[in-house]
Amino acid sequence: MNEVLRLPCLAAIFAAVACGATGPLCLARRGTYVAGAVSHACFAGLGLAQWLCVVHGVSWATPTVGALAAAVAAALFLALRPGASGGNADAALSAVWAVGMAVGLAFLCATPGYRGDLSGYLFGSILFVSPSDIRDMAALDIALLAVLPLFWRGILAVSFGAAAARIRGAPARLYESVIFVSVALAVVVLVRATGIVLAVALLSLPALGARAFSRSLPGRMVAAGVLAFASLAVGLAVSWKCDIPPSAPTVFAAAALAVICRALGAAAVRLRSTAVAARDSSSVPE
């Protein structure tokens, strides 16, 4: 059992790192739909990579390479398109979401032979990760942890006040592009863990629960990573016990943890308020 779960547990660790690094950024930037659009755009790259590999024998066209290329292209399009901050953002997100899936389906239909691998990318297959998948996930995590500190001050400025950052003359478009590309890297990591369809859940739910533990963005990142790993661990345990795919129980666990954390946070706030009120009333002279 330990040997069978060794690679899935490593994948869960790397997925949790990606969730912790980018999930709170998505919530602070109100960009969870960006993550959803980018994750579905990955399907275009996966289909293209499969088509190039099977039909044309392009050996370097691996699923990770295809997903990464499509995710980064979608992220840059959403960040750099004209009028990116205007009211037509939802139309661009919908277009990336739908066109990515359509392109992937077209290449999938044009590829002869067995196509079971791609369904694993749609709905997750963390139990079947390979050593090459682990290396890819580790490399993407390293890239994430290298890029975010490099642009940290600008990322903070844009996450909590993009309009103010533009007024002050900061290159807000550059920092927004860094955030979107970071989300794209995290999505590619999560494609193996929860699949394209459910990746956005693991980016948003642990980050939502992490808000109960910290007001600072770094604190929320650490808490979100811990909650994401706990969710993945529960999903793996349920999958092992009940012989079902782990993606659904992982998302259920993430949702339950988010609700519990928010409830605990609200209870802590009420207790602090009650304690402050009691202290203030006791200090008032009779």
Q: What is the pLDDT of residues 77-127, one digit of tens each?
A: 998 887 655 556 788 899 999 999 999 989 988 888 755 566 677 877 788
Structure confidence at residue 82 (pLDDT) = 72
- What CATH number was assigned to the domain covering residues 2-283? 1.10.3470.10
How many angstroms separate the Cα of 199 from the Cα of each of 106, 115, 117, 169, 195?
Answer: 22, 21, 17, 34, 6
In this prediction, what percent of the chain has a pLDDT beyond 90? 51
- Does 267 have pLDDT greater than 60? yes
The pLDDT of residue 32: 86
- Supply the Cα-derived Rg of the chain in whole angstroms: 21
For the chain, the structural domain boundaries read 2-283
Higher pLDDT, 208 or 91: 208
Instruction: Look up residue 224 and give its two tokens.
Output: 């979100």
Half-sphere exposure of 177 (CA within 13 A, CB side): 10
- Mapped onto helix, strand or coil, the DSSP state of residue 129 is coil
Three-state SS at 284: coil
pTM, entire model: 0.89
Closest CA to 118 of 181, 62, 189: 62
Cα–Cα distance for residue pair 227/211, rounded to 1 Å: 11
Confidence of residue 161 (pLDDT cuts 50, 70, 90): low
Instruction: Give CA–CA dist 189/232, Å, rounded.
Output: 13
pLDDT of residue 95: 92
